[in-house]
Amino acid sequence: MPPLPLSVFIICKNEVDRIGATIRAVRDLTDDLVVVDSGSTDGTQALAESLGARVLHNPWPGYGPQKRFAEEQCRHVWLLNLDADEVVPADLAGRIRALFAAGEPSRPAWRIGIAEIFPGERRPHPLAYTLTPVRLYRRDRGRYSPSPVHDRVELEPGVEPGRLPGVIHHFSVRSLGDQLDKLNRYSDQQADDLAARGVVIPSWRIFVELPGNFLKAYLGRRHFVRGVYGFLTAMNYAISRHLRVAKHYERRHIAATQTVAPPDRVDQGEGNS
């Protein structure tokens, strides 16, 4: 089938074990598949090129700026954004194709569900929590936020996105250790962002952030349907949110102590007779 008037873009670093499935699932939808790599050392670039992607390098500036850079490299006005650990299943690819069957889609932006698939699962759990961000859009009606940590498309005022049936399969967890390493790094970026924006989180949040976010993930985001593994991933999420606030507090605490003048030094020299 002919490609759609659509560019697909992916940002990545060291995703050789996952990006192949991502590219294969959508390469028939487009004649412009853009991969922006921020310094992989595991062969990600070579694999992406072998699968027909146009691979570009850009040093990591943060999530929003990197996706904005990728938007600028695309040839078409219609864009589909995927992360390197996300796979578009065949039914969703068919719905995207059907959206363009009669020409221009009826709306300039579309929300698409994203559901996690944890290790040991073949498909999303029927009761899995699903995010519904804008992922298919016209870049003249919306662009990714310039925020280094907030990963979302900012649409023009008045643009009401549609909702495309189906879900992207999100293979976000390689292992619990890898997940925690990733969340720990992300908490550093979040603390940097809070400082850059001059946001101050009250210190009492340190005491409630971990239990509150565990309940948010385990109950609110329905990790409990995954049994023991869901409990463990909810704990990882809660720890990462705690680290964000803890690192924010630590930086403020150190900055405050450094502004306090040191006590007068007592002269211990000789000749005090």
What token pair was written down for 34? 């853009």
Question: Same domain for 132 and 252?
Answer: no
What pLDDT score does 176 carry?
Answer: 92
Which domain range does residue 106 map to?
A: 7-170
Confidence of residue 262 (pLDDT cuts 50, 70, 90): low
Question: Same domain for 190 and 249?
Answer: yes
Domain end (from 123, 152, 170)? 170
Confidence of residue 69 (pLDDT cuts 50, 70, 90): very high
With tokens 């909702």, the residue in question is: 163
Please state the pTM of the whole predicted model: 0.85
> Cα separation of 131 and 241, whole Å?
18
What token pair was written down for 27? 């390469």
**Domain of 145: which CATH number?**
3.90.550.10
Question: Same domain for 166 and 201?
Answer: no
Provide mean pLDDT across the span 192-209.
90
Count structural domains, the chain: 2
Q: What is the DSSP string of 63-75?
A: HHHHHHHHHHH-S
pLDDT surpasses 50 at 7: yes
Question: Same domain for 184 and 132?
Answer: no
What pLDDT score does 245 carry?
Answer: 93
pLDDT surpasses 60 at 263: no
- Whether residue 264 lies inside any domain: the answer is no
Provide mean pLDDT across the span 244-272.
70
Domain end (from 135, 170, 205)? 170
Question: Same domain for 106 and 193?
Answer: no
* Model confidence pLDDT, tens digit, residues 97-132: 999 998 999 999 999 999 999 998 888 988 989 999
- Whether residue 239 lies inside any domain: the answer is yes
Domain end (from 170, 203, 231)? 170
Buried b / exposed e across 118-140, counting CB within 10 Å, b at 16+?
beeeeebbeebebeeebbbbbbe
Question: Same domain for 203 and 94?
Answer: no
Question: Same domain for 162 and 89?
Answer: yes
Confidence of residue 267 (pLDDT cuts 50, 70, 90): very low
pLDDT surpasses 50 at 96: yes
